[in-house]
């Protein structure tokens, strides 16, 4: 996605890339069902560099690109209930979600390696 500011009250913002929008991104999720009620899967996520800012990009501040890898195991308990063990950011990669430029610029650090146990019910 190629983003740019086309209208702004601040003339210097015109033509700049929007803040916190990656021009290239990729996500692929795959899973394999075996033994009737079990599934195992994985996900790869890529985001290209992004420029930080509030409304438009500040050409001097950017966040680097990153890859993130996740995995899960899911068990169907019965026709209404499933449980999933999900591991996010398997490599414990340090990456940043956003970069804001205000009176004091700051970044939001993405979660490191994390594990979740998820129960789903269908009614």
Residue 58 lies in a domain: yes
Where b means 16+ CB within 10 Å and e means fewer, 89-103 reads beeeeebeeebebee
Closest CA to 45 of 77, 68, 63: 68
Give the structural domain span for 101. 19-121
Q: What is the pLDDT of residues 7-36, one digit of tens each?
A: 888 787 788 888 888 899 999 999 999 888
Q: What is the pLDDT of residues 64-83, one digit of tens each?
A: 999 999 999 999 999 999 99
Residue 80 lies in a domain: yes
For residues 54 and 51, give the distance between their C-alpha atoms in angstroms, rounded to a whole number: 10
The tally of domains found in the chain comes to 1
What local confidence, expressed as pLDDT, does residue 59 receive? 62
Residue 104 lies in a domain: yes
């Amino acid at each position: 996605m190629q983003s740019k500011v086309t209208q702004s009250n601040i003339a210097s913002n015109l033509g700049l890339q929007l803040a916190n929008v990656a021009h290239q991104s990729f996500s692929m999720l795959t899973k394999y069902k075996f033994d009737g009620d079990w599934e195992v899967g994985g996900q790869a996520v890529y985001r290209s560099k992004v420029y930080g800012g509030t409304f438009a990009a500040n050409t001097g501040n950017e966040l680097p690109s990153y890859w993130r890898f996740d995995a899960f195991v899911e068990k169907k308990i019965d026709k209404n209930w499933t449980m999933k063990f999900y591991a996010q950011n398997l490599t414990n990669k340090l990456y940043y979600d956003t970069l804001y430029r205000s009176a004091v610029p700051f970044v939001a650090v993405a979660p490191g390696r994390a594990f979740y146990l998820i129960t789903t019910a269908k009614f």
